[in-house]
Amino acid sequence: MEQTFIMIKPDGVQRGLVGEIIGRFEKKGFSLKGLKLVSVDRPFAEKHYADLSAKPFFSGLVDYIISGPVVAMVWEGKGVVTTGRKIIGATNPAESAPGTIRGDFAIDIGRNVIHGSDSVTSATKEIALWFPEGIVSWQSSAHSWIYE
Ligand SMILES: Nc1ncnc2c1ncn2[C@@H]1O[C@H](COP(=O)(O)OP(=O)(O)OP(=O)(O)O)[C@@H](O)[C@H]1O
């Protein structure tokens, strides 16, 4: 089934939002397949955000991501990439709808709490980058109560 890479950024960890964010994905019915608290170094953060290297905010973005530990996760479920982005909300919290994670918990674009893969292709790349050791293979006993 489809998988996505979700990262709670350093502000989300520092602000104690880890449980709240995991709860939103869990309650939706998605399955947690990988989870770790990690501090990444500059070369790793630059690799994760390589597509944005020409942007004027790139070095500030890398400084932000390496400023403290992040929670790296893999979530699985039908349509999880697109639905995950909807749960997260628009990139700029000023435009994120209330009820989304960024709409509820963030104000500035450079402190927007969470990252989610923007396509299945990016998800595959990001999961390989963040979880070279692999992820956990299991199926929730609630599966048949979530999927018809
Ligand atoms: N104009 C900006 N100023 C400062 N930071 C920005 C700006 N635009 C984007 N960012 C930061 O770079 C991240 C990556 O930007 P991108 O355009 O890929 O948005 P996104 O896909 O919604 O975010 P993410 O990749 O973190 O899920 C944003 O989440 C935000 O933290």
Binding site membership of 115 for ligand 1 (Cβ less than 6 Å):
yes
Q: Quick check: CB of 69 below 6 Å from ligand 1?
A: no
Ligand 1 contact, 82 CB (< 6 A): no
Q: Which residues are catalytic?
A: 115
DSSP secondary structure of 63-113 = HHHTSS-EEEEEEESTTHHHHHHHHH--SSGGGSPBTBHHHHH--SGGG--
9 Cβ inside 6 Å of ligand 1? no
CA angle, 127 then 131 then 133, to 5°: 140
Report whether residue 86 contacts ligand 1, using a CB cutoff of 6 Å: no
CA 61 to centroid of ligand 1, rounded, Å: 8
Q: Which of 4, 71, 81, 91 to mutate to test the pocket of ligand 1 (most atoms within 8 A of CB)?
A: 91
Q: Which of 96, 108, 112, 113 to mutate to test the pocket of ligand 1 (most atoms within 8 A of CB)?
A: 112
This model of the complex carries an ipTM of: 0.93
Helix (H) or strand (E) holding 42, with range, is: helix 42-48
| Local confidence pLDDT in tens for the 148 residues of the chain | 999 999 999 999 999 999 999 999 999 999 999 999 999 999 999 999 999 999 999 999 999 999 999 999 999 999 999 999 999 999 999 999 999 999 999 999 999 999 999 999 999 999 999 999 999 999 999 999 999 9
4, 81 Cβ separation under 8 angstroms? yes
